[in-house]
Every structure is written in C-alpha cells, then in structure tokens.
Structure 1
C-alpha cells in the first residue's frame, strides 16, 4: 500500500527529531567538569587557549577551587569528574574509599611550597613557631609538610596555632597582619615573601623522605567510559610542559603565556617565571617510570596516608593504594 504524502512527511519529521535527540545525547556525553586550583603550571595556558576542547571535542566546565580538600569533596559529591589536588588530599580521598585514580603528576612540588615567616616576628627556625599563629589550607600538601616540619623539629603541633585558610584567605590575613607565618604556594607565596623570609621549603623536607606533588585524579567509572579523552589530555599537557622546558626564557613576564597563567591563577605576571621555575614538570617517560606512576606515587600516597592517620587527620588506611594510581593513560599517550 502506498504511503500518503502527509504520513511520509510526519515519518521524516519524527526520524529527524529522533536523530537530533540522539545527536544531542552524544554531545551531552562529551562533557566534563574539571576542578582546578591556582598552581602556576603550563596547563593554564592550554586552558586559556581552549586547546583541550578543540582537540577532544569535549565541552569542559572549568571550576576553580581554593584547595585540594574542596576538590575532593566536589568529586565525592559527583559534581566533578576530574580534579587537581596535592598528594595529601589525594591520599585522603583514597583512604576514604573514593573511587578515584591518580593518572597524571601535574608537578613535583620541589621548592614551590615554602614556610614563610613575617618580618619582625622573631621566627628564624621551625622551632620558633611554638606559640605563633600559622595559616595553611588543611589537608593540603603544604599542611602535610608543615606538620612534618614541626614534628621533625621537635615541636608539638598543638603548641602552634594552626589556622585552616584557603589561599585567598591567607593572603588577606597576611595583609592584615593577623598571622605570623604561612606554609603556602604561589601566587600567595610571592606576596608573603615581599615582607617575610623563607624558613624551610617543601623541597628540603622532601629530601627527608616526605616528597609531595600535585596530581590530577579522575572518577574511575567516568575514566573507563572516556579513555580517548584522557589519553589526549595527558598528551596535550605533556606537549605544553615540554614546550615550557625547552624554552623557559620565552615564557617571560610580558609573554602571552605568563599573562594567561596570571589571569587564571591570580599571580602577577612578573612572578610567573619564578613560580614556574620552582616546580618540576615530568615528561611522559618520567610519568610512567617506577619513580612516579609506575610505583613511586603509590608509595608516596601510602606514606602520606600513614602520616595523616598518625596525626588524626584520617581515621583509617586503605588496604592497597595501588588501585588508586594508574599509568595506563600516559603509556597510551607515548
């Protein structure tokens, strides 16, 4: 039986509608919320350029957070699929049983986090912090290093007034003169050093076996469904890191790169070159090596978690931290 023309038109309209809906569903699936912080890294240039969106076809909702603890909570709520955090918050997330995986070392913190004492406070060593007021974001790598520095110097952390402040709050408190010292990273670190002096750096403490890093973690289920995106993401970050390392002098204070980083982090463009130089950025080969995602990061998370438990910051340890680290994506990107 021949179809009436009106029926054919309706059928075509219905099919077109279903096609559009299906296309919309696919487009909606290619969307991710990425939690970032204010660490001064080459990744910020990729963000400013929109390169990741162009290369992957994904819509990326960039959300800035004041600390790793906030990122962990956002990921636990399901609002965020990918997030930047320090090794301490990542160890906390793993210890709490969150279904996450560390898949990229954003940076080896090295000397990018430091304990700075305000001029005029008579703080010349870690031991001098007894009875003083120190601010740092709780559960951050800086907090972890502060507690370690105190215990290593024989100071009971309870004898120091440690305030939990996000970086912008630390900056405001420093400006008001409300705190004597801070363990923090740039851009606040640079501001504090203008009228303060460095007492100890994360790099010095790492030499005592307390290495710290910033990493990028992902919700495991989301990762399984979006592997091509993650492979492309780490390849792009590695390329931008390599670009910086090959010609660091080009990323001067008045360069487009420094201006992009300053815009997204709140750092002064003049401070960006020095801040970048304080970190160490790893190549794909280094990422996959036994020192990092191939084993070292697992040990670092386990050691950090053990320390946090001893300090009463977490209640229990995970049976195995290896399940929270993967080198799959960096190996595929090589």
Structure 2
C-alpha cells in the first residue's frame, strides 16, 4: 500500500513540475469571394501552419461583402478581414478603429459594369431610367457613382440603384429583375455569360482614383499581437511572390486554382480568368509609396481619403477624418526583412 501511495505521490510531483502547455489563441479571419494568392495560401494550409507555430489557431469565415466584415470588425467578432478601399474609407470615418496592412489586389478590370442582354442598355448613357444592382459601400458602388456623376455626366438619382450582394445579383439577373450590375468574380463571370461589359474600374479609375481590396486589422489587436502580424504578413509575401514567379503558368488544374475554387466556389476556368483581371503587388511594391508607404502621400492613403470625400459628397458620410494616413499600417510589410 505504501508503495502504491509513493508512486502516486511521485506522479503528482512530476506533473507539478512539467511546464504548462500554452493554449493557442483563436483568431477569426474574414474573407470574401475574391480570387487571388491569399485564397490559395488559405486552401493549402500555409497560413494555418505558420500561425500555429506562432501560437494562434485560425478560423476562416466567408462573408458576402466588405460591409458585413466591417460590422463584424466593429463588434469585435473578427479582428482581421478583407475590405475594399471604399469600405475602409466608410468604416474608419464612422469610427471603426482598423488599419490597412496589405493590398490584396489592384482591382482594375476585375470589377465591371455589365448590361444584360435584352435590357436595351448598350452604353452607360442608356442607364437612365434603368435598374442596376451593386453591393452598397463597396468599391463597385463607389466606381458606379463616380462613373455616373464624373465620367458620364448622369445624375445617380436618374438610375434605380439597388443594394444587392453578389449572389443576389446573379439570382436577380437570371430572373430579369435588373438591367445591369456592377460586381466582381465569380458573380461577374456568371452574368457575363448573358451580358456585355460597358465599363470597368480600370477605365473609371483612370479618370478618378483607383480602387483596391485590402486586408485590415483591428488596431488594438495589431498592437497586442506583433507575432501574429509578422507571421501572417510573411505568408502573404511568400504567396504573392509565388504568384509573381509562377502565376503565368497556372492552369485550371493547378493546385493554387483548385484551392481558390475550394474556398469560394465557381469553376477553375472562371477562377483562372478572374485572376488575370487583377493586379497582385509583391512585398516591395506594397511597402513603396505607390501603396502602403509614404504616409499621407502614399497611394493607399490618398485613395481612401478620396473615396471618403466622395462618399461625403453623396451624403453617405456625415463628416470626414482630418487625416487618413494613420489608417494605413505599413510596418508589418516593411519589417519583413528584419
């Protein structure tokens, strides 16, 4: 009996001196149906592996729009997520304390204004009196309004603009409820099958300001979790370099493309086509004044400020921030080499 008790006591003492196993911190990351190297790195497990080593467990949560992610960020449910430049402008102006730390893509030709066959819309001027679907407070919405007012000289009130998320646009399109839509893939790929593009964000951006999708983080989370930010940004840099080096040779059968389809649906052929419509700046470009670098003179800060000013002019924002430079956090990408 003494021998048994002695062994039990020894076991307890051994357990007592073993170091406690640190429990991984769970972090929810919000993403949208936007193709790119980011999704490929999610699908192949690179993020999960790198962040696990840094002490974090990731939960990937898909949202239908940047507006939904903005709401989740504001509530504290999601500390990291994908939002377009217009959504970033709106959210930060309304007091959501977030920072842009990576340019997910330069939108360019990937967001298009498409007219449905049989709608009677052949050119932008024909939109007067017609119904157009677009996700509100998105980059598509911003460029639709800019195009109408600044490029084509059409009062937006002359167009019936409906707030629709991408899946709703596809359903309304197939029913014939809308005449045109401004949206991105995979919804764009679907509506182009029975419609034609009459403008896009490359054209409108050249006449105004470019738009982009970005990864944002709650400011306090970034400050409290430097290890997360470093590991997460490192995976992004590697994924974008991989695309720059090999993306031209990707096919519908490439694991990167099938990974994208796994994350957001659609077909490999559509995903491959959508990839070619976007620009994906590598880390050195991200850190430059063209995008995240340069403070108030940086491209991202200027685009956000311009977007906010336009939204205020449209009555969608009541006021503006004095300075949008603090919204951009270039530190994670500039510190990659350190």
TM bucket (normalised to shorter chain) is over 0.9
RMSD: 1.9
Distance apart, 1:7 and its partner CA: 10
Contact 1:97 1:318 survives alignment (8 Å): no
In the other structure, the counterpart of 1:307 is 310
Note the alpha carbon deviations across 1:240-296, whole angstroms, 9 max, x for none.
122122222432112222111112122211112211111000011110111110121
Counterparts of 1:92-103 in structure 2 under 5 Å? 92-103=90-101
Residue 133 to residue 13, structure 1, CA distance change in 2 (3 Å): farther
Note the alpha carbon deviations across 1:192-246, whole angstroms, 9 max, x for none.
1111110101011111122100000001111112112222222212221221222
1:79 to 77, 80, 87: 77
In the other structure, the counterpart of 2:136 is 138
1:327 to 326, 330, 334: 330
In the other structure, the counterpart of 1:259 is 258
Distance apart, 1:10 and its partner CA: 9.2
In the other structure, the counterpart of 1:286 is 285
In the other structure, the counterpart of 2:31 is 36
Contact 1:124 1:199 survives alignment (8 Å): yes
Distance apart, 1:47 and its partner CA: 0.8
Counterparts of 1:10-49 in structure 2 under 5 Å? 12=13, 15=16, 20=20, 23=21, 26-29=22-25, 31-49=26-44
2:269 maps to 1:274: no
Contact 1:232 1:333 survives alignment (8 Å): no
2:251 maps to 1:248: no
CA distance in 1, matches of 2:92, 2:312: 13
Contact 2:134 2:181 survives alignment (8 Å): yes
Counterparts of 1:109-188 in structure 2 under 5 Å? 109-152=107-150, 153-188=152-187
Contact 2:244 2:282 survives alignment (8 Å): no
Q: Secondary structure at the match of 1:61?
A: strand
Contact 2:51 2:58 survives alignment (8 Å): no
Contact 1:261 1:267 survives alignment (8 Å): no
Counterparts of 1:224-239 in structure 2 under 5 Å? 224-239=223-238
Residue 162 to residue 13, structure 1, CA distance change in 2 (3 Å): farther
CA distance in 1, matches of 2:186, 2:328: 29
Residue 8 to residue 319, structure 1, CA distance change in 2 (3 Å): farther
CA distance in 2, matches of 1:27, 1:92: 36
Gap regions ≥5 residues in structure 1:
none
Residue 13 to residue 160, structure 1, CA distance change in 2 (3 Å): farther
Count how many residue pairs are aligned between Structure 1 and Structure 2.
325
CA distance in 1, matches of 2:159, 2:141: 13
CA distance in 2, matches of 1:73, 1:298: 22
Contact 1:186 1:267 survives alignment (8 Å): no
